[in-house]
Amino acid sequence: MTLQVTGHQWWWEITYQDPSPERVLRTANEIHIPTGRPVRLVLNSTDVIHSMWVPNLFGKRDLLPGLQTVIDFQADKPGVYRGQCAEFCGLQHARMGFLVVAEPPEAFDAWRLAQLRAAEAPKEPERQRGEQVFLRSSCIMCHQVRGTPSAGRVGPELTHLATRQFIAAGTLPMNRGNLAGWITDPQSIKPGANMPMTQIPPRDLQDLVSYLEGLR
């Protein structure tokens, strides 16, 4: 199985390659792999040099702009492994973590199928309002939720955001409070990160967070 990993300041973009284009899956900061199968990570960087390191699975390999490097590895035991950028890459080098989630092949296949689906249209009125907030505010300049008109590609893909365990590249556990804090003032959590501070009225923020929390 081949995954494309692209380093960004300061998050990881992961693309599951597939011969048929509709099965190509783009996600961020959380790599799911099946256990007991060899996996190849093809590494590249869009900005500076990063280095991929999961101490319990494999040693470091640099992500170099203009060059392609690979990591071949296999996870034998299911589990969640933490990884981190190991090459100094600027202001937020310290907060550029990610997770490798190794799960049995069946669970992995189910996960992959679920991730390939576009986001469901929200049913609750609160989440419907939240979607509207998402679509008319600055979020969509950088982010994408498949199934909506949003198409930003420079930030992490959000279609199944709520299935991930962390936000902001392994920085904050995924929950309502952290989401709201991250949206309003990312610069006090991760100074220098490319996510700007956003001014959203409290009511709208509540709806937006509800919407994001439902992106499963």
Partner 1 sequence: MSVTESDRLKEQEEREDAGAPRDSTADEAELHRVLSETWGTKPGFWGWITTVDHKLIGRRYIATTFFFLFLAGLAAMVMRAQLAQPEGQVVGPDLYNQLFTMHGTTMMFLFAVSVMEAVAVFIIPLVMGTRNIAFPRLNAFSYWVFLFGGVMVWGAFFLNIGPDVGWFAYVPLSGPEFSPGKRADFWAQMITFTEVAALAVAVELIVTILKQRAPGMTLDRIPLFAWAMLVTAFMVMFAMPSVMVGSSMLIMDRLVGTHFFNPAEGGDVLLWQHLFWFFGHPEVYIIFVPASGMISVMLPAFTRRPVFGHLALVLSVISIGILSFGLWVHHMFVTALPQLGESFFTASSMLIAIPNGIQIFCWVATIVSGKPRYATPMLFIIGFIITFVIGGLTGVMVASVPLDTQVHDSYFVVAHFHYVLIGGAVFPLLGAVYYWFPKFTGRMMSERLGRWNFWLAFLGFNAAFFPMHLLGLWGMPRRIYTYQPELNWGDMNLFVSLAAVVVFASFALFLWNVLYSLRHGEPAGDNPWDADTLEWATSSPPPAYNFAHIPVVTAREPLWAERRALPVAVGLRTDMRELVITSVTEARPELRESSPDPSIWPLISAIALTGLFIGSIFTPWAVVYGSIPLTIALTAWFWPKGDKEDEA
Partner 2 sequence: MMRAVLLALAAVAVLALPSCKREKRETRASTVPAEQPRQLALSTNHAGSAQAPPMESAGKRYEESAYQITEGKRLYTWFNCNGCHANGGGDSGPPLMDDKWIYGGEIQNIYATIQQGRPNGMPSFRGRIPDHQIWQVSAYVRSMGRNVRMDIAPSRNDDMHPRASENRLPLAPPVAGGSTPPSAQHPQ
Give the binding site for partner 2 (CB under 8 A).
65, 91, 136-138, 140-142, 154, 185, 187-188, 191-194, 196-199
Q: Which is nearer to partner 1, 81 or 134 (CB)?
A: 81
Distance CA 128, CA 116 (A): 22
Q: Is 91 in the site for partner 1 (CB under 8 A)?
A: yes
Q: Are 111 and 30 in contact (CB under 8 A)?
A: no
Buried b (16+ CB within 10 A) or exposed e, 173-184: ebeeebbbbbbe
Q: Which is nearer to partner 1, 7 or 214 (CB)?
A: 7
142 binds, among partner 2, partner 1, none (CB under 5 to 8 A by kind): partner 2
Q: What is the DSSP letter of 159?
A: T
Q: What is the DSSP letter of 15?
A: E
Residues 37-56 that bind partner 1 (CB under 8 A): 47-49, 51, 53, 55
Closest listed residue to residue 33, CA positions, set 73, 6, 88: 73
| Contact residues for partner 1, defined by CB under 8 A | 9, 47-49, 51, 53, 55, 58-62, 64-67, 69-70, 82, 84-95, 171, 191-192
